[in-house]
Amino acid sequence: MTAMASGLCNSESDAKYFLSQWSDSGESPEDILSSYDGKEFSVDPGRVVYRGDLNGDGVEDFIFNSRVGIGSSMDSTFAFLIQCRGYLKHAGGDYFAGVKVLDDAPKDGSDFKDVEIYSYIRNSSGQIRYKGDKAMTRLHLWRFNPQTQRYEGQSE
């Protein structure tokens, strides 16, 4: 494990996240994100929307889109997950319309890739605005903050 992951990971204090797949009665398997924080165990169905190296250590990391929590706002939860030895660490996330990992070198010189997140553009009543039949979104750039050890940025 490189210094990037070892400085981020603390197996004694981190909540532990795990990805697996589950299928009921011959249905197509779905991705499952499980977590254990030392007290509670939770399981969220959803899908992995990114597999790749977010932090430059050569090990596959993930962005998971949960099916739980999608409400009338139509935003869904995305979790940025960094691979540690034997578990995944939650390194940020929130309710978004979508995400895209930028493959270019981060502009701030860090080893962590920047992530574009998309928020729905809403009218004064809070309803999603459309152009034709396509929902309108606004782009925000999220970056890894080494002090908080999380991806952070603006969103709406």
Segments in the chain below pLDDT 50:
1-3
Which pLDDT belongs to residue 156? 63
Which pLDDT belongs to residue 96? 87
111 lies in some domain:
yes
For 67, the token pair is: 């099916």
Count how many domains the chain has. 1
Task: Supply the range of the domain harboring residue 114.
Answer: 3-149
86 lies in some domain:
yes
Which pLDDT belongs to residue 73? 60
For 92, the token pair is: 């940020």
156 lies in some domain:
no
Q: What beta strand segments (E) does the chain contain?
A: 16-22, 30-36, 41-52, 61-66, 76-84, 87-96, 98-101, 115-120, 130-131, 134-135, 137-145, 150-152
| pLDDT per residue as tens digits for the range 71-106 | 556 678 899 999 999 999 999 998 888 999 998 767
38 lies in some domain:
yes
154 lies in some domain:
no
155 lies in some domain:
no
